[in-house]
Amino acid sequence: MTPPSRTTARETKLRVQGVNKVFTRDGKSVNVLEDIDLEIRDGEFVCLLGPSGCGKSTLLNIVAGFTPPTSGQVYIDGEPVTGPDPRRIFVFQERGVFPWLTVEGNIGFGLFRLPPKEKARRIAHYVKLVGLSGFEQAYPAELSGGMKQRLEVARALAVNPDMLFLDEPFGALDSITRLLMRSELLRIWEAEKKTILFVTHDIEESVQLADRVVVMSARPAKIQRVVEIDIPHPRDISSPRYLKLRDGIFEEIGLAHKV
Amino acid sequence: MLAWDILIRWSPGGLLPRPWEVVQGLTELAQKGLLFKYIVASLFRVTWGYVAAAVLAIPFGLMLGWHRRGELALNPLIQILRPISPLAWIPISILWFGVGDVAALFLIFMASFLPLTVTAMNAVKNILPTHLNAGRNFGLSPAQIVLKVIYPSVMPQLIAGLRITLGIAWLVVVAAEMIAVNSGLGFLIIDARNAGNRYDLVVAGMVMIGLIGLVLDLGMRRLEKLKSLRWGYASE
Ligand SMILES: Nc1ncnc2c1ncn2[C@@H]1O[C@H](COP(=O)(O)OP(=O)(O)OP(=O)(O)O)[C@@H](O)[C@H]1O
Ligand SMILES: [Mg+2]
């Protein structure tokens, strides 16, 4: 008798069913997404991986309810998605924080329904969590790129969503900051039990973070393969298992091992 | 001041006043109560023409920027009207409203309306979609989106446009007063010349126009410096 695996025990959080997206521009129509089917379980960390311009942001925008699909449907907790919802927060690829608000103002942006005391407590908590103590009154223009990105993550977490959609949130950061941010995100994910859908075009990043990596093909984007990353955190990125999974994805995408 | 004094000594005609004569002219005007009266008259016209234009043009421009169709329909007209100097409207304004305050107000209104419309239109178009999406994502109602996302997004550009337009309005009021009315600083200048070549009073009027223009501009610049607006002028 084998016990039920960790993953099958959890219920489906998000279901993407037969989603297509066609953009029409200057009379020409471009097929960006083709028959996307995807299921994500509660508490899972899933990376969407694919070449630049393939339609990852488009898919994430559909899942988040910002853009309607041309056909198909997205369900979250069994309910069809009809628009954005504060229970699932989108972290943008760039320039997502509000430049006219301070760090505190940004983190408190979504907390307008809370009594002032509770709001202040939450702001203080998340300022500390993302390491922005001392910058409470600073404006985004006075922050570095990494700090701005952390600020946006804090703004998202502050409303206590059960899902996070992150669109290449660390893409514009230097490699050291990017590594730090990844372990921060993993720490938060494990502590707060969120379901995360994370878009990236960085293979290493996806293998370091995800429970499963969804590999997308170039346009029109289809799901080419789903790779289960069965390595517990913290992951040893020089272990044979890690290297094997990583190289498998490299091959899947058709990239040689040598530069 | 010294350069002014020296230049005047050499200038032909001998009509232009020395600095101290201008000061005397200003004192004379102040004693007669005209200086204050004319300044108030000019400021009054600028304020009403400009405020009326702002009240109509800003919502109008915001609407145009928000609804792409409106912009597509009206933009050609705006682009044709824009290069026409506000002063070209003088004959028409006198034809419509006769000589008087209304004609002057109309000119200032015309001078302010188009620049403010264009400013507001562009300000809306420059709102980042990510900011609007973030607003919707956090569950803001449409009214809250206007208040917490659209309003702060457009403010820096609006204030900059308001400052530049106030400068234009102040230029135009002087011209309008030379032709359409018999009070105000523009009238003071033309009247001083006509009534016996009082160039000391002409220059006195010019000095006042310059000083008040400067004060208006400084006032608007103070608005731009507000911390919550300053982001809009950063290099980002
Ligand atoms: N509003 C739109 N109208 C027309 N075409 C669009 C629109 N949005 C995206 N596209 C097209 O859809 C394709 C996919 O865009 P998308 O932004 O989803 O790519 P991506 O995978 O996120 O790329 P990147 O990794 O560079 O961010 C692109 O070719 C883009 O030109
Ligand atoms: Mg993208």
Buried b / exposed e along B43-52 (16+ C-beta atoms within 10 A): bbbbeebbeb
Pairwise CA distance, residues B45 & B107, whole Å: 10
- Partner residue facing A100 (CB), from B140, B144, B228: B228
**Number of domain units in chain B:** 1
Number of C-beta neighbours around residue B234 at 10 A: 12
Q: Does residue B221 lie in a domain region?
A: yes
Terminal C-alpha separation, chain B: 42
Q: What's the average model confidence in pLDDT over B62-82?
A: 87
Please indicate whether, in this complex, the C-beta atoms of B234 and A95 are within 8 angstroms of each other.
no
What are phi and psi for residue A221, nearest 5 degrees? -70, 130
What's residue B15's pLDDT?
Answer: 66
Q: Does residue B10 lie in a domain region?
A: no
Tokens matching residue B152:
């702060």
Q: Does residue A103 lie in a domain region?
A: no
Q: What's the average model confidence in pLDDT over B104-109?
A: 94
Q: Does residue A132 lie in a domain region?
A: no
In terms of Cβ atoms closer than 10 Å to its own Cβ (0-12, 13-18, 19+), residue A2 is exposed
State the DSSP code for B100. S
Q: Does residue A50 lie in a domain region?
A: yes
Tokens matching residue B41:
């008259």
Query: Chain A contacts of B144, Cβ < 8 Å?
Result: 112
**Number of domain units in chain A:** 1
Does the pLDDT value for residue B60 go beyond 50? yes
Could you tell me if A103 and A132 are in contact, meaning their C-beta atoms sit under 8 angstroms apart?
yes
Intervals of chain A under pLDDT 70: 1-9, 255-259
Q: Does residue B7 lie in a domain region?
A: no
Residue A55 CB less than 6 A away from ligand 1: yes
Tell me if chain B has a CB within 8 Å of the CB of A145.
Answer: no
CA A56 to centroid of ligand 1, rounded, Å: 8
Pairwise CA distance, residues A107 & A124, whole Å: 9
Pairwise CA distance, residues A84 & A67, whole Å: 9
CA A56 to centroid of ligand 2, rounded, Å: 6
Q: Does residue A233 lie in a domain region?
A: yes
The CATH number of the domain where A41 resides is what? 3.40.50.300
Q: List the domain range (segments joined by +) for residue B222.
A: 20-230
Q: Does residue B55 lie in a domain region?
A: yes
The confidence band for B192, taking pLDDT boundaries of 50, 70 and 90, is confident
Q: pLDDT tens digits, residue range B32-41? A: 888 899 999 9
Q: Does residue A94 lie in a domain region?
A: no
Q: Does residue A234 lie in a domain region?
A: yes
Residues lying with their CB under 5 A of ligand 2, a single-atom ion: A 57
Beta bridge partners of B15: none
Q: Does residue A205 lie in a domain region?
A: yes
Q: List the domain range (segments joined by +) for residue A41.
A: 1-84+195-259
ipTM: 0.89
Q: Can you say how many angstroms the Cα of residue B45 is from the centroid of all Cα atoms in its chain?
A: 11
The CATH number of the domain where B39 resides is what? 1.10.3720.10
Q: Does residue A131 lie in a domain region?
A: no
Q: Does residue B2 lie in a domain region?
A: no
Does the pLDDT value for residue B194 go beyond 50? yes
Residue B131, min C-alpha distance to chain A (Å):
6
Terminal C-alpha separation, chain A: 47
